[in-house]
Amino acid sequence: MRPPEARTDTRPASKTVGIGKLVGVSIVAFAFTFSLVPLYRIACEKVFGIRLENSAVAAPATAATPAERWVTVEFDATVNSRLPWSFHPNETRMRVRVGEQYETTYYAHNDSTAPVVGSATPSVAPARASGFFQKTECFCFTAQTLEAGETRDMPVRFIIDPSLPKDVNTVTLSYTFFKNDVLTSRLAAHVAPARGIPGVVAAP
């Protein structure tokens, strides 16, 4: 009588082979699905003449360009009664495109017989537009000195921010010129001795 033959359990190997096949099928299916996108794109472009844009780099929808907006800027001027100057804008209004720089000038004349220093204070109306009126150059940034009888055109360069509220169509820029008493006194104290005016002593 022959001894019973030893049996080898092949189930683990079969199971491993089955898992391997399943993984392989999954990879092939994924690759096939992934390849459908370029194939579909090629079919649309070659057969139907339709060009598909990559959604990751698609151009945003075209909106109204802020630079196409125009507003009116009005200019105004006031002189404090203690300042012996004539002062007014050389142009009273201007049509401007938002986002672009423009320049205007103000006329100033010293009507007195002595040099005078003045300081200008700007204001913008309506008040909620002031934050959108950007002055890149302005005589209001520093005190201005005019000799007796001197005339000067004072420039202002500005840009209207494209973010200006849409319901604001007119912006008014106003200046009030005041006499700078401190600087005028210092100027007079230094000028008088140089001109030989008696009774005036220069400040130390």
Domain boundaries, the chain: 16-53, 66-194
In angstroms, rounded to a whole number, what is the distance separating the alpha carbons of residues 180 and 93? 28
Q: Of 116, 99, 123, which Cα lies nearest the Cα of 152? A: 116
Taking only the tens place, the pLDDT of each residue in 2-61 is 555 555 555 555 555 566 666 565 665 555 554 555 554 655 565 555 554 444 344 444
Top-tier CATH class for 66-194: mainly beta
* Whether pTM exceeds 0.85: no
